[in-house]
Amino acid sequence: MSDLNQSTQKIRIWDAPVRVFHWLLVLTFVGAYLTAESEVWRLVHVTLGYTLGGLLAFRLVWGVIGTRYARFSSFVRGPGAVIQYLKSIRAKQPEHHLGHNPAGAVAIVLLMLLGLGITATGYITYNDLGPGWVSGLHDLLANAMVLVIIGHLVGVVTASLQHKENLVRSMVTGFKTGAADQGIRRTWTVVAIAIVIAVLGFWWLQWQSAPDAAAQTTAQGSKSDHDKDHD
pLDDT in tens, 30-65: 999 999 998 889 999 999 999 999 999 999 999 999
Within 10 Å of residue 139's Cβ, how many Cβ atoms? 15
- The predicted pLDDT at position 213 comes to 58
Question: Which class for 15: exposed (0-12), middle (13-18), buried (19 or more C-beta within 10 A)?
Answer: buried
Q: How far is the C-alpha of 154 from the C-alpha of 120, rounded, in Å?
A: 28
* Confidence class for position 230, pLDDT limits 50, 70, 90: very low
Q: Chain-wide mean pLDDT for the chain?
A: 90
For residue 2, is it within any domain?
no
Q: Which residue has the higher pLDDT, 10 or 214?
A: 10
For residue 1, is it within any domain?
no
Nearest-10 crossing angle of helices 16-34, 42-65: 150
What does the radius of gyration of the chain's CA atoms come to, in whole angstroms? Answer: 21
* Confidence class for position 209, pLDDT limits 50, 70, 90: confident
198: containing domain: 9-230
Bridge partners (DSSP) listed for residue 11: 176
pLDDT in tens, 62-73: 999 999 999 999
- The predicted pLDDT at position 223 comes to 44
For residue 109, is it within any domain?
yes
pLDDT in tens, 159-184: 999 888 999 999 999 999 999 999 99
pTM: 0.87
- The predicted pLDDT at position 89 comes to 87
For residue 155, is it within any domain?
yes
Nearest-10 crossing angle of helices 210-230, 42-65: 130
Q: How far is the C-alpha of 57 from the C-alpha of 55, rounded, in Å?
A: 5
Q: How many alpha carbons lie under 13 Å from residue 42 in its C-beta half-sphere?
A: 19
For residue 3, is it within any domain?
no
For residue 191, is it within any domain?
yes
For residue 81, is it within any domain?
yes
- The predicted pLDDT at position 1 comes to 42
**Residue 127 belongs to a domain with what CATH number?**
1.20.950.20
Q: What domain count does the chain have?
A: 1
Q: Which helix or strand (DSSP H or E) is residue 186 part of?
A: none
- The predicted pLDDT at position 93 comes to 85
- The predicted pLDDT at position 160 comes to 92
pLDDT in tens, 77-118: 999 999 999 999 888 888 989 999 999 999 999 999 999 999
For residue 141, is it within any domain?
yes
